[in-house]
A and B are shown apart, each in its own frame.
Chain A
């Protein structure tokens, strides 16, 4: 899935570069993760949306729970772990180190997500 997304991004970027020359620089940028800053993941209907998020190192990622049910986020090796995030509440953590961070909701362990930090 990740490979597929990256490959598609590359193809689009390449096509844009060939067609538009200078504009290609923008297209190239588009396939990079968003600049370090902020990113948001919505929790809705017991799912993380998007389930896979790619960010630059230093990005503050905020999970916003739109369900009535509380959730939390925790990576299996405890790199990060939130308290309960009740409906309407948020949790933010900053990802400084590049890597792939799987995580889940420990209240509803079938809910899974992944953060890729580049």
Chain B
């Protein structure tokens, strides 16, 4: 573990949290106080990864939510999109790791799609459990992944990285947590077969793939089987949302990264009776929302930087 603090200018309570994690090689956390300087720091950081390839993860926009924890989820999604458009190094593409909508309502999908048009890059989506309420994700897949075959999972290659989008929110009726199901796991095994161990892998999915807090459904039941196919690779980065806070874990060559929401924070695991929207003072809200930049640095590291919306 290495720690850097290159930009500590003071003690403002609106301090900016940045965390960077180098998958496969350890982890760096940076906490910078002072005036929010996310873009400035991003700039400095981008320079170190100039030869690589950058993409962005956003998550849990919960369009349609309008209660006290954030009466303006459209506005905070727009702020997140502005962050993306102003990044000094423009990302090659964007991942949305689910809970695009709050209630899976047609008008929420409409609004989300409309707002996300402001993102110029391709957006690759996986659904959250809020996107599949009552219809197994029919509207979600029609809207955000119309070309996909049954199941909604897929993979693609970009910038020398193999990306795998996985769906772990359609098993909630039979499991007490997220799950992939046998068919998807079989597909994953085949999808990875024949790829060299040195191929950097990025898995993106909604629910965490390690058991952060199964009592609240913060786990994926059959993730161990998925990991048995993934662990031979030299660099595996797992990006997810669902819990609306940054939690990280490194296990061997696998780095797990849960992201900020763009809508509202949730309590830490086990704090309070249940998960759900957590109220923070209005002027603090954007400091606990954010986007994530991921720099793929040759030959095979992924540097993860979480940037708050404050």
Which residues of A are at the interface with B, using a C-beta cutoff of 8 A? Answer: 45-46, 67-70, 72, 74, 76, 81-84, 86-87, 104, 106-110
Residues of A within 8 A of B276 (CB): 46, 67-69
Asked whether A83 and B133 contact (CB < 8 A) given A68-B276, A69-B276, the answer is: yes
Asked whether A84 and B133 contact (CB < 8 A) given A68-B67, A76-B173, A106-B172, the answer is: yes
Let me know if B176 and A70 touch, CB within 8 A.
no
Let me know if B172 and A107 touch, CB within 8 A.
yes
Does B269 have its Cβ within 8 Å of any Cβ on chain A? no
Let me know if B176 and A110 touch, CB within 8 A.
yes
Which residues of B are at the interface with A, using a C-beta cutoff of 8 A? Answer: 67-69, 102-105, 129-130, 132-135, 172-177, 215-217, 273-277
Task: Give the secondary structure class of A's interface.
Answer: loop
Highest count of chain B CB atoms <10 Å: which of A67, A70, A109? A109
Let me know if B104 and A83 touch, CB within 8 A.
yes
Q: Which residue on chain B has the smallest CB distance to residue A74?
A: B173
Q: Of the candidates A67, A69, A84, A86, which one forms a contact with B134 in the assembled complex, judged by CB atoms under 8 Å apart?
A: A84
Alpha-carbon distance between A68 and B279 when the two chains are bound, in angstroms: 11
Let me know if A106 and B129 touch, CB within 8 A.
yes
Let me know if B133 and A106 touch, CB within 8 A.
yes
Residues of B within 8 A of A82 (CB): 134
Let me know if A106 and B274 touch, CB within 8 A.
no
Let me know if B133 and A70 touch, CB within 8 A.
yes
Q: Which residue on chain B has the smallest CB distance to residue A104?
A: B173
Residues of B within 8 A of A86 (CB): 102-103
Residues of A within 8 A of B277 (CB): 68-69
Let me know if A84 and B103 touch, CB within 8 A.
yes
Let me know if B173 and A107 touch, CB within 8 A.
no
20 residue pairs bridging A and B, Cβ less than 8 Å apart? A46-B276, A67-B276, A68-B67, A68-B68, A68-B69, A69-B276, A69-B277, A74-B173, A76-B174, A81-B134, A83-B103, A83-B135, A84-B102, A84-B103, A86-B103, A106-B172, A106-B173, A107-B130, A108-B216, A109-B172
Alpha-carbon distance between A3 and B174 when the two chains are bound, in angstroms: 25
The smallest C-beta distance from B265 to any residue of chain A, in angstroms, reads 14
